[in-house]
A = this chain, B = another copy of it.
């Protein structure tokens, strides 16, 4: 079975990184729970929104992301049984490409370079399962689309859902 796994919001916690940077720079105390159903930039005053959107163009943003709980353990097991690919829509941010490669080397070394994909959109991927946090990726996918829960997608009901990597293990292991 070929399984594609997204990076941001699925194995790398970009949402929390946005919150942490914002809270520190604007001396705020926003928590992820307050943002359910919204992108993080939609949770801050309008005059701050552009600064959030610019986070992903900063050097080091993607290098410093924390790991989503359970992803290493479950992907280790999945990789033994299935053909697991990391597929990240990263091409919009050229500075992120090397950082994402290095991040995978550090935290997911068992997923070799042969099984890593950095792309612009995921419409052209052919496989059995896609685990992703975005409707725009899950919708066009031909196989089984599993939405991985993130604060911004809490209200989406159109896809099979996994709330955690334990859920993924229950579904696929």
Contact = CB atoms under 8 A, between A and B. Distances in A.
A91 interface: yes
Copies per complex of this chain: 2
A107 interface: no
A70 interface: no
A118 B92 contact: no
Contact of A97 (B105, B118, B124): B118
Contacts of A92: 113
Contacts of A112: 120
Contacts of A85: 124
Q: For chain A, what secondary structure do more than half of its interface residues adopt (helix, strand, loop), or is it mixed? A: mixed
A127 interface: yes
Interface string A1-22: 0101000000000000000000
B126 A120 contact: no
Interface in A93-135: 94-95, 97-98, 101-102, 105, 112-121, 124-127
B126 A124 contact: yes
Q: Which of the four size classes fits the interface of chain A?
A: 20 to 34
Interface of A: 2, 4, 85, 91-92, 94-95, 97-98, 101-102, 105, 112-121, 124-127, 142
Given A117-B119, A124-B127, 17 more contacts: A2-B124, A85-B124, A91-B113, A91-B114, A91-B116, A91-B118, A94-B98, A94-B101, A94-B102, A95-B98, A97-B97, A113-B120, A115-B121, A116-B119, A118-B119, A119-B119, A124-B126
Q: Which 4 A-B pairs have the closest CB atoms?
A: A126-B126, A114-B120, A97-B97, A91-B113
